[in-house]
Every structure is written in C-alpha cells, then in structure tokens.
Amino acid sequence: MDATQIGGPIVLFLLMSIVGMELTPGDFRRVAAKPAAIVGGTASQIVFLPLMTWAIVWLFGLDPAFGAGAVLVAVSPGAGISNILTAVARANPALSVTLTAVASVLSVVTLPLVASVGMRLFLDAPTDVEVPVATLIGQLVFMLLLPIGLGMWLRANRPETADRLGPRLQRITIVVIVVVVTLGTMFADTEQLEISASATAWLAAAAWTVAAMGIGWTTAVALRLDEPDRFTFLIEFSARNIAVSAIVALSGLGRLDLTFFSGVYMAVGYPMAIAASIWRRRRTPEPEGSAGETPG
C-alpha cells in the first residue's frame, strides 16, 4: 500500500470533520423540508449520468473497456470530496451530505442493476456485478456519519473553538485537497492506456465532468432550487466515488482495464470540481452569524 492509500482515509476523516463543524441540526431540518430535492437529485444521478456516459463514449468513439469503466464511475455514489468541496464553496453541505448518504445506501441495489446493463452494452457479454457492500457501509459510517457527527458535536459544545478554527481550517482544507488529488493522480494507473488514445481519453473525461455538472445544475433548476443548492448539485453529480468503481472493477469483475477511466477521471475531473468550488468561494461572501448557515 502506498502513502495515499494509508494517509488518504485519515485526511478524508479530518476534512469531513471540518465539514461537520460547518453544520447544525437545523441545516438538515431545512434539507428534510425539501424532499423533492433529495428524491429528484438521487433519481437524476441514477438515470441521467449513465445515459450521458453512453453518449460521451459514442461521441468520442472510446474503447469498449474504457466506456464500461466510465459506466462504473457514473453509477457509483458521490464521493466524500463532494461534501468537502461544497463546504469550501459555501454552498449547501447539508444537502450534499444527505445526497451522498442516500445514494450510497441505494447503490447496493442500483449499482449492480445499471452497471450490468452497461457491461452488456459495451462489452457485449452478460456480467454479474458484485457490489462492495462492506466498503460502502464502511465509507458511510467511518468517512461520512462519524466525522460529520464529531464536527457537529464540536460546533454544538465548543462553538468558540469552532468559530476560531473554522476559517483557518477552511483555508488549509483547500491546500490539502489539492495535495491529496495531486498525489493520487501521480499514483493513478493511467500509464497502461495506449499513447495514441490518451489525448482522446483525457478530453472525454473532461467532457464527462462538464456534462455531469450540467446535468446537476439543470436538475436543480428544474426542481426550482436556489443558487447554492444548484451549485451543490453541480458538485455532487460530477464528483464520483472512484474507490467504489475501482473495487467493483478489480474485485468484483477482475478487470484492471475497467479502472482506466477512473484514473483519467481523477486526473481531470477532480481538479475541475476543485477549481469550480474555489471560484464560487471567491465570489461568495462569508455568511454572517453561525457557520452552519448557508448563504442565500
């Protein structure tokens, strides 16, 4: 195991705790008051991201295995980085956390169903997709619920500490995310891609990310959500859980070639999401009052 595999979960836990420091129970109550956002956002990810992936693969004429790997990324739930970037962007982290949690739970059913269709479509062979249930549960508990809960506890019981550390930790968060993604990209197994296909593959990954952002934003507009929620959807749709897609490819299907899109997507898509979050943060004034409040 390399340094990113060992240190990555620890860093993610700490960053998610910082997200929790930005939240209060009232934030989740406001999210629960808008169930259409949760239902619509989750359903759109399940339906439209795989359809968009098929269009991208067809448009760029990608290798079938590369396209099948893209499907695995599309049907995987949102990643923890989506919650962090939403908080960095001063959007709606409570909505992001809720969408990630719901999608992670439902992926036990939706991932094998949709991914199996994708495998038949691109690989022209029936394939049973095994879902890493233990990994999903572990990520949900130890990389989402537990650190978020710890951060919220600190906000509720040590508000002065949270207020004092919050702004400083937010700035550190941006640097840490960039470093982690950079290290992860360096270790990504993209060198096995054919040199002649690399430029097309990277362009396709960028197009996939932009299209996912567009679907997220359009879905939020259709649901009549405000601008912070629209940006939350934009990040949530485009920042996928490549750890889950890679485990499905390697452990469930025994196919290293199905991880190629994950490697290119990490090198292209994550930096694009990071840049979008930093851009919005610079354009959005810091909210007054409680750090758990979201600017309107």
Q: Rounded to whole angstroms, what are the CA distances from 79 to 15, 206, 254, 271, 287?
A: 13, 18, 23, 14, 25
Q: Higher-confidence residue: 207 or 127?
A: 207
Q: Higher-confidence residue: 186 or 206?
A: 206
What value does the mean pLDDT take over residues 219-240?
A: 97
* pTM for this entry: 0.85
What value does the mean pLDDT take over residues 263-292?
A: 83
Q: For position 108, what pLDDT does the model report?
A: 87
Is residue 106 within 8 A of residue 46, CB to CB? The reply is: yes
What value does the mean pLDDT take over residues 274-286?
A: 91
| Confidence band of 183 (pLDDT split at 50, 70, 90) | low
What value does the mean pLDDT take over residues 205-234?
A: 97
Q: Higher-confidence residue: 186 or 32?
A: 32
Q: Rounded to whole angstroms, what are the CA distances from 294 to 139, 213, 271?
A: 26, 21, 24
For residue 229, the SS3 value is: helix
Least confident of 15-24, 27-36, 189-198: 189-198
44-72 per-position pLDDT tens digit: 999 999 999 999 999 998 888 888 999 99
| Confidence band of 267 (pLDDT split at 50, 70, 90) | confident
For residue 240, the SS3 value is: strand
Q: For position 193, what pLDDT does the model report?
A: 46
- DSSP per-residue letters across the chain: --HHHHHHHHHHHHHHHHHHHT--HHHHHHHHT-HHHHHHHHHHHHHHHHHHHHHHHHHHT--HHHHHHHHHHHHSPBPHHHHHHHHHTTS-HHHHHHHHHHHHHHHHHHHHHHHHHHHHHHHSS--PPPP-HHHHHHHHIIIIIHHHHHHHHHHHH-HHHHHHHHHHHHHHHHHHHHHHHHHHHHHSS-TTS-HHHHHHHHHHHHHHHHHHHHHHHHHHHHTT--HHHHHHHHHHHHSB-HHHHHHIIIIIS--GGGGHHHHHHHHHHHHHHHHHHHHHHHHSPPPSS-TT----
What value does the mean pLDDT take over residues 260-272?
A: 90
Residue 178 has pLDDT above 80, yes or no: no
Nearest to 22 by CA among 296, 286, 239: 286
Nearest to 37 by CA among 176, 251, 232, 174: 232
Residue 114 has pLDDT above 60, yes or no: yes
**Which domains, and CATH codes, for the chain?**
3-283 (1.20.1530.20)
What value does the mean pLDDT take over residues 167-193?
A: 64
d(CA 289, CA 25): 16
Which of 158-172, 200-214, 242-256 has maximum average pLDDT? 200-214
- Portion of the chain with pLDDT greater than 70, in percent: 84
